[in-house]
Amino acid sequence: MTTAGANVKIYYLSAVLAAVYASGVSAQEAAPLSDADAVQRFIGVWSLVHWEETLADGSTREHQVTAGRIIYSDIGEMCAVVMDPNRPHWQSATPTAQEALEGMNSRVFYAYCATTEMHAADGYFTQRAVIDKTPNMVGARRKRWFRFLGPDRVELRIDPSELREPVVESALIWERVVE
């Protein structure tokens, strides 16, 4: 190999590594994960950092749900609870029927537990709800596309088949809760 050829390869490799470094993703994280490795990366407690929706007209909006936790286990189980922390308080310890309905509607409160099945090579996992705030969702399958953004951050995208107009994309950023 000529010196010029070697320099081009070194330059190319340097450019790739610089791009990976600038993205905040290590070379190891850029490589495809096995299902077992992906499961290990998810194990633990995660806190919601940001939830953004993209609308059909190309605009974006922050979802009103801004507080949440997800817990992933090493046996393929998970539980999630997310809510709008600014939803109105009830007037007493026991809500009126209207307060209960408003406090549990699908835009301000979600809660479910599910079994998961990893498909790391394809960048997603599925969840089958075993407990859900909404009775009709028990047994339902949800698909979540994932991308690790470093050792303690992950982006989860809701599969487009689950979105309602005008939302065309819905992405949540989660950060690992550490001691």
Q: What tens digit of pLDDT does each residue of 60-81 get? A: 999 999 999 999 999 999 999 9
Count Cβ atoms within 10 A of the Cβ of residue 75 and give its class: 0-12 exposed, 13-18 middle, 19 or more buried. exposed
Among residues 24, 57, 59, the alpha carbon closest in space to that of 155 is found at 24
- Per-10-residue mean pLDDT for the chain, 179 residues long? 46 38 47 92 98 98 96 97 90 91 80 97 98 95 97 97 97 95
Domain ranges of the chain: 1-31, 32-176
pTM equals 0.80
Among residues 106, 23, 25, the alpha carbon closest in space to that of 63 is found at 106
d(CA 42, CA 90): 35
Q: What tens digit of pLDDT does each residue of 17-27 get? A: 333 344 444 44
Determine the CATH number of domain 32-176.
Answer: 2.40.128.280
